[in-house]
Amino acid sequence: MKLAHFDLESVFDIKPGEINILVVEAEDQFYKYQKEIYMQCQGEDGGFCLFEGDKDLSFDKQALLIKDYVFFDLNDKKLINKLYASLSEITLNSFEEKYWQIKEMIKILFAELDAESECSIDYEEENGIINLMKAFGVHVKTEDSLLGNLSAYIKLNTFYLKKRCVFLVNLKTVLTEAAVKMFYHEMALNEISVFLLENTLKTKLEGEKITIIDRDLCEIVV
């Protein structure tokens, strides 16, 4: 998979283990590229293009943009629904007997509650494992560290929503150099492709391929 932009000469190879960084020094140009990626991830038009061979790829289906490192949600509706569906399948394939035992115990409990209650109660017997998970508030466990939560969020999106390219804005501003190296290692282990959009040049790390758009809009490959 490759990434190009109408303004740029460079064409970026998007593949696991290869870290492309686009450093855009001019504030207005940096904002323009960030906004275009955001809009294209929403299905709107923009200057970026993802393609494979001679085939254009759907940007909103293939790409994930992360620009807010405080409020991204590990348990947003799309992810949690996919998680529940996956856990339901695992339950029925590997723990079906236990599941039916639990359902039977719940039925016995409700029958005993009905006998003790001042009024007759009823319930829906056909609620499946997903409703049981909702009742117990099953969710993705968050961590205390940005690195842990960020890695988990990206892995969930690539596994469940099939995102193939993850754009990160100013990642090297919010993580230490050591944490960035750990992040790159985690992404490579999970064969996840990432693309960094930065507005300042930081220390170049192993595996990074850096392209700079300077304030005169000259394109420099480091």
> 77-94 vs 96-116: helix axis angle to the nearest 10?
100
Q: Two tokens at 9?
A: 């000469």
Kindly list the distances between the CA atom of residue 172 and the CA atoms of 46, 127, 140, 168, 204, in Å, as whole numbers in the listed order.
25, 46, 26, 9, 11
Lowest mean pLDDT among 109-123, 157-171, 189-203: 109-123
The three-point CA angle 14-193-70 to 5° equals 130
**% the chain with pLDDT above 70:** 99
**% the chain with pLDDT above 90:** 84
End-to-end Cα separation, the chain, in angstroms: 22
Q: Which amino acid is at 157?
A: N
pLDDT digits (tens, 9 = 90+) for 143-160: 889 999 999 999 999 999
Helix (H, G, I), strand (E, B), or coil: what is residue 199?
Answer: coil
Side-chain-facing half-sphere of 97: CA atoms under 13 Å: 1
> What's the confidence (pLDDT) of residue 128?
83
> What's the confidence (pLDDT) of residue 126?
64
Q: Please list the residue range(s) of the chain that carry CATH number 3.40.50.11940.
A: 2-74+140-221
- The CATH fold of domain 2-74+140-221: Rossmann fold (3.40.50)
pLDDT digits (tens, 9 = 90+) for 70-129: 988 999 999 999 999 999 999 999 999 999 999 899 889 989 999 988 899 887 776 688
> What's the confidence (pLDDT) of residue 184?
97
C-alpha 190/C-alpha 158 separation (Å) is 10
Mean pLDDT value across the chain: 94
C-alpha 159/C-alpha 175 separation (Å) is 24
> What's the confidence (pLDDT) of residue 124?
78
